Amino acid sequence: MPIARLTWLHPETHEPQSYDLHEGMLVRIGRAASNDISVPHVTVSRLHAIVQYEDGMFVLSDQGSSNGTFLNDQQIATPQPLVSGDRIRLYGPELLFSAVELDAHAPTTTPQDEATVLPSALEANTVQSVAYLLFLNGAQKDLRVPLAMKELRIGRATQNHTWEVGVQDSTVSRPHARLQNVDGAWTVQDLGSSNGTMVNGNRLTEKPKILIDSDIITVGSTMLQYRIGR
């Protein structure tokens, strides 16, 4: 099952085009027909850019193109991580990067869930009301992570990560933060991350902070909302 997708309009026919992205892929984009994605336009180089799966996320890199590669209208000079909704512009033609929504009729645990949330975090027994984290942006937008254990660590998603919640965001540390249930109240604590952990825009110190319903936790550039639901 694909975890992301690139969509664009063919420059000549203006027909909608799409290309599914799976874990481990390297996708070549350019004017030449030999590329995985061929965009026949005069402003596009023969090999213009690549999208590659690295450490749990897709990364965009320019390949020495004549006119440059732009991410959300900003020209890139170094590889950049992609999040759902990002616009990739090959000087003229534009492609949209989006996460693939989970099939409502699919089993509860999907390949995407398994790659980012360890089974123990999903399968632990819960009692009555269960708190959860809701991804508000990024490649995992709208993904819910039930807080069914006494303690969960959050960190950057990698192929062999051991923390319970993996985030597809290169600005997230390995690991980044810890959530812990203390006497029925959930707390969040930064684990010495490079970019810090914030709650409602306020950077955490070394001490744990008690969470209340609808608090926004920011790790790297990813926002998660703490919710209490039944």
The mean per-residue pLDDT over the stretch 25-41 comes to 96
Q: Which residue has tokens 């020495």?
A: 64
The residue-averaged pLDDT of 160-182 equals 89
Contact of 110 with 122, CB cutoff 8 Å: no
Sheet holding 197-199, edge to edge: 144-146, 130-135, 222-229, 216-219, 197-199, 202-203
- In this predicted structure, the answer to whether residue 222 has a pLDDT above a threshold of 50 is yes
Percentage of the residues of the chain whose pLDDT score is greater than 90 = 49
Residue 223 has which token pair? 């926002």
Dist. CA 11–CA 16, nearest whole Å = 10
pLDDT for res 111: 37
Comparing CA positions, the residue from 55, 1, 3, 59 lying closest to residue 167 is: 55
Q: Please report, for residues 13, 20, 146, 184, 202, the alpha-carbon distance to residue 122 in angstroms, rounded to integers and kept in the order given.
A: 46, 27, 6, 19, 29
Q: What is the mean pLDDT of residues 120-125?
A: 44
**Helices then strands, each counted (H, E), the chain:** 2, 22
Q: State pLDDT tens for residues 173-202.
A: 999 999 999 988 999 999 999 889 999 999
Distance CA 110, CA 145 (A): 13
